[in-house]
Chain A
Amino acid sequence: MGDDELVAEARRGNARAFGRLVELHQPRLYGMLAKMTGDSELALDLSQEAFIRAWQGLEGFEGRATFSTWLYRIAVRLAYDARRDPRHDDPDALAGIADPAPGPDAHLDRSAEAEDLRRRIETLPDMQRAVVTLRTYNDLPYREIATILETSENSARVSFHHAIMRLKEGYLRDGRRQEAPTR
């Protein structure tokens, strides 16, 4: 059963159908929020809240966008709000969480690099952080990103390019570049 059928069932009050939607979308939604906020615990809280709000608001979901677009829009708004909430200000939240890596050295290198990048992402404006995450992690087309962020495709594209240029500048200037693969 696809999202559309599951949503239709859930709108009729079928909690099991909604449970299936949660199961299908939870990992990617959590990942998006973790990337966007840089805080895994906050991302869990926000994704939980997003699903509950989605359930609460299913009556208002008119099907003009896909369920995932609508769900991501809810989640992005929550992430924006959380960023402005001082209670969620914990820049080191990801530092203590294990990142499965092949070996101790690789683990350290990758963790340091990921941490560096995470801090750089945190300096980006809301829109740029959201676009970068939705584009690189969720691999969404600009049309869908624009719908989620309630902006135009071109604005989303420009935001992405500005964000990458900004990230790239600091990322490479600090000598984190590794051996470039040959084409």
Chain B
Amino acid sequence: MNDSHGNEEGPTMDGHLTDDEILAWLDEPGEAGPPEHLAECLACRERAADTEKLLAALGADPPAIPEALAAQRGRVMAAVAARPRGSKVTAIRGPSIRRYGWMPLAAAAVIAGLLLLGRDATEPPAGGPAGTVTTRPEVLEAIDPAPLPVVAEADRAAEEAYAVEIDAALAALDPGPAVPTYAFGTGVLAEEFAALSVEDQNAILAEMSDMTFDL
């Protein structure tokens, strides 16, 4: 007679528990408790302990890489935000970690962060302390599910913000005294040269063409 595991029931010929019986008890202990034989047999207890150790090793956590998981969440959300449900899966496969390393994931996480948090960073939530960054549901819900050039949008926003910063920094600089500029090679101030008649300008340039310079 076979048990539910496809093995013969009952103890072995020498009265010990089979490996399968031990495993069945460890795997699904139930309410009946351990087989009585275990209490009186050291050999079977040791075999049970071996099996238990194997099961524990199988159930142990794999090596953890939390930073990769965090980056992956960002990447998944960037894909989710960029693609409507029902579009072709093959079109949204991201770069493979194995093939390209971690950088694409990190970049995607940043992009997703910009997408999801960007507007909130400048608007403190009602009742919250100024400068607190939070995610409002409507920000995510407002994301257009149509295919978007996510990277391009994010880059453009970043570039525009950077340009504004640069303009402001330049405007804040002290311009200092005006530096006179000269019409090239003439020794005449550019503004004065421009004010001359065409004939006079040509005359000056003709004189210059006959000059020799000791360099």
On A, residues with C-beta under 8 Å from B are 13-16, 18-19, 22-23, 26-27, 30-31, 34-35, 40-45, 47-49, 51-53, 55-59, 88, 90, 93-94, 97-100, 113-114, 117, 121, 132-133, 135-137, 139, 154, 157-158, 160-162, 164-165, 167-168, 171-172, 177-178, 180-183
Contact = CB atoms under 8 A, between A and B. Distances in A.
A157 B20 CA distance: 11
Interface string B39-66: 0000001101111111101111111110
Chain B interface main SS type: helix
Given A48-B94, A180-B46, A180-B50, A23 B73 contact: yes
Nearest to B39: A183
A161 B23 contact: yes
B68 interface: yes
A13 to B, nearest CB: 6
A94 B60 CA distance: 15
B86 A59 contact: yes
A177 to B, nearest CB: 6
Given A13-B145, A52-B92, A90 B98 contact: yes
A34 B62 contact: yes
Contacts of B81: 15
B63 A94 contact: yes
Contacts of A100: 64
Contacts of A13: 85, 141, 145
Contacts of A178: 53
A20 B81 CA distance: 14
Give the interface residue-count category, chain B.
Answer: 35 or more
Contacts of B24: 161
A17 to B, nearest CB: 9
Interface in B141-196: 141, 143, 145
Contact of A168 (B4, B46, B51, B61): B51
A32 to B, nearest CB: 9
B54 A19 contact: no
A137 B80 contact: no
23 contacts: A14-B140, A15-B140, A15-B143, A15-B145, A16-B137, A19-B80, A26-B73, A40-B65, A48-B72, A49-B89, A52-B76, A56-B89, A57-B85, A59-B86, A114-B60, A117-B58, A136-B58, A136-B59, A137-B59, A157-B5, A165-B20, A183-B38, A183-B48
Q: Which 5 A-B residue pairings sit nearest by Cβ, starting from the closest?
A: A180-B49, A16-B140, A34-B62, A136-B58, A136-B59
Contacts of B134: none
B87 interface: yes
Contact of A15 (B46, B60, B141): B141
Contacts of A59: 85-86
Given A121-B58, A133-B58, 20 more contacts: A14-B141, A15-B143, A16-B137, A19-B73, A22-B76, A22-B77, A30-B69, A35-B58, A40-B65, A47-B72, A52-B93, A55-B83, A56-B86, A132-B58, A158-B6, A160-B27, A161-B6, A161-B20, A165-B20, A182-B45
Interface centre among B6, B83, B87, B143 (most CB of A within 10 A): B6
